[in-house]
């Protein structure tokens, strides 16, 4: 009877309360709100405790929570960057992307091979490649010859992944905050060839599968070519181009040369077209291309992650 009376009194009091006196508070983020927590964790890659704190601070709003976490991670990343700056970072990945008659390649370094295999690091490499490709696409298209452009670390850091995207320097700060290692955007380059008779061959080596369409490895090569007439099938272009790019990775030429060059000896020959072809040692690269009649080479680029390179302008 007493419980019923109290219930009745409560009901009468609620009925007497003016409608304008009701207030609705934002629901707290409880363990039951597991889907939002998991979704935020997938989006950011940050620990569950930080994701839960973000949702609590933002009243359960997923978008606001993600923005808050990114801001915090970036601040912590810049702070962490000052702590790890100067630590040796010679591991990492070379990433490359080919889109039609344009191709971009980057080198991003970290301290350990373990981090190089982390999905967060791979995403950073992908963002750097996309930023470099956007830079390539913004340049005038070549009409008759290959265009090549090299970017040093400071130029690369100022690129964006797309219109309105964040600077790559901000992306690397976020990654440092999450991974806790010294990470560096070391260098990038792109090649672009004329539409119609231009073709770019690519090859990466020394690592496992990467998210398409960006290929990743310890080595990478881009080879700018001109397609011969009559135009061979696409499969032939891909096969011949890939073999030449594979040779560039394996034999590390430093100059192009000409098909008429006489080889100077296997050990000291550094001109691509005069080198003994990696897959058919009885032929030079120039002779191999002449026999196939599919492509001629006009330029190339080769990156080996962690290699010593001459100083800019040296």
Q: Is residue 236 part of a domain?
A: yes
Rounded distance, CA 231 to CA 165, Å? 39
CATH at residue 195: 3.30.479.20
Q: Is residue 23 part of a domain?
A: no
**Confidence grade of residue 179 (pLDDT, cut at 50, 70, 90):** confident
Specify the higher pLDDT residue, 206 or 239: 239
φ/ψ (deg, to 5) at 37: -65, -45
**Confidence grade of residue 166 (pLDDT, cut at 50, 70, 90):** confident
Rounded distance, CA 21 to CA 33, Å? 28
Going 136 to 140 to 142 to 148, the CA torsion angle's sign is negative
Domain that holds residue 262: 91-304
pLDDT of residue 301: 98
pLDDT > 80? residue 67: yes
Quote the number of domains for the chain: 1
pLDDT > 90? residue 48: no
**Confidence grade of residue 275 (pLDDT, cut at 50, 70, 90):** very high
Q: Is residue 69 part of a domain?
A: no
Q: Concatenate the DSSP letters of all residues of the chain into one string.
A: -HHHHHHHHHHHHHHHS-GGG---PPPP--TT-HHHHHHHHHHH---HHHHHHHHHHTTT-HHHHHHHHHHHHHHHHHHHHHHHTTS---EEEEEEEEETTEEEEEEEEES-HHHHTSHHHHHHHHHHHHHHHHHHHHSPPPSSS-EEEEEEHHHHHT-BSSTTPPBHHHHHHHHHHHH-S--EEEEEEEEE--TTTEEEEEEEESS---STT-EEESEEEEEEEEE-SSPPPHHHHHHHHHHHHHHHHHH---B---TTPPP--TTT--BGGGSBPSS-TTSBHHHHHHHHTSEEEEEEEEEETT---PPTT-
109: which strand partners?
92, 184
Rounded distance, CA 257 to CA 299, Å? 10
Rounded distance, CA 219 to CA 231, Å? 30
Q: Is residue 32 part of a domain?
A: no
Rounded distance, CA 241 to CA 60, Å? 53
φ/ψ (deg, to 5) at 219: -125, 150
| Closest-CA residue to 92 (of 306, 252, 308) | 306
Specify the higher pLDDT residue, 190 or 20: 190
Q: Is residue 11 part of a domain?
A: no
pLDDT > 70? residue 294: yes
Q: Is residue 16 part of a domain?
A: no
pLDDT of residue 283: 94
**Confidence grade of residue 78 (pLDDT, cut at 50, 70, 90):** low
Q: Is residue 47 part of a domain?
A: no
- The model's pLDDT over 140-154, given as tens digits with 9 standing for 90+, comes to 988 889 999 999 999
pLDDT > 60? residue 211: no
Query: Going edge to edge, which strands form the sheet with 219-227?
Result: 198-205, 219-227, 295-304
For the chain, give the percent of residues with pLDDT over 70.
81
Rounded distance, CA 253 to CA 201, Å? 16
pLDDT of residue 305: 96
Kind of pairing, strands 102-110 and 198-205? unpaired
Q: Is residue 58 part of a domain?
A: no
| Mean pLDDT computed over 164-177 | 83
pLDDT > 70? residue 1: no
pLDDT > 80? residue 189: yes
pLDDT > 70? residue 3: no
| Mean pLDDT computed over 95-124 | 94
226: which strand partners?
198, 296
Quick one: tokens of 69?
Answer: 């976490």
pLDDT > 90? residue 311: no
| Mean pLDDT computed over 1-22 | 40
> Mean pLDDT score of the chain, rounded to an integer?
83
pLDDT > 50? residue 10: no
What is the distance between the terminal CA atoms of the chain, rounded to a whole angstrom?
Answer: 95
Find the helix packing angle between 34-44 and 48-57, rounded to 10°: 110
């Amino acid at each position: 009877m007493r419980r019923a009376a109290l219930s009745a009194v409560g009901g009468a009091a609620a009925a007497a309360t003016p409608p304008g006196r009701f207030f609705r508070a934002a629901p707290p983020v409880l363990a039951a709100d597991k889907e939002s927590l998991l979704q935020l964790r997938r989006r950011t890659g940050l620990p569950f405790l930080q994701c839960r704190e973000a949702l609590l601070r933002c009243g359960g709003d997923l978008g606001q929570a993600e923005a808050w976490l990114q801001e915090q991670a970036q601040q912590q990343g810049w702070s962490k960057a000052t702590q790890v700056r100067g630590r040796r970072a010679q591991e990492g990945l070379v990433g490359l992307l080919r889109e039609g008659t344009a191709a971009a390649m980057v080198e991003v370094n970290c301290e350990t091979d373990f981090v190089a295999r982390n999905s967060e690091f791979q995403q950073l490499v992908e963002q750097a490649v996309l930023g470099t490709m956007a830079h390539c696409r913004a340049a005038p298209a070549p009409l008759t010859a290959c265009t090549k452009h090299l970017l040093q670390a400071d130029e690369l850091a100022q690129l964006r992944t797309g219109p309105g995207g964040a600077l790559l320097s901000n992306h690397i700060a976020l990654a440092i905050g999450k991974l806790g290692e010294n990470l560096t955007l070391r260098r990038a380059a792109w090649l672009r060839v004329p539409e119609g008779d231009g073709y770019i061959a690519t090859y990466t080596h020394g690592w496992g599968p990467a998210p398409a369409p960006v290929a990743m490895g310890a080595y990478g090569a881009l080879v700018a070519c001109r397609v011969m007439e009559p135009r061979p099938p696409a499969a032939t272009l891909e096969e011949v181009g890939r073999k030449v790019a594979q040779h560039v990775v394996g034999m590390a030429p430093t100059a192009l040369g000409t098909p008429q060059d006489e080889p100077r000896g296997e050990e000291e020959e550094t001109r691509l077209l005069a080198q003994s072809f990696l897959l058919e040692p009885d032929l030079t690269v120039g002779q191999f291309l002449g026999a196939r009649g599919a492509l001629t080479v006009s330029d190339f680029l080769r990156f080996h992650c962690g290699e010593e390179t001459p100083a800019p302008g040296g």
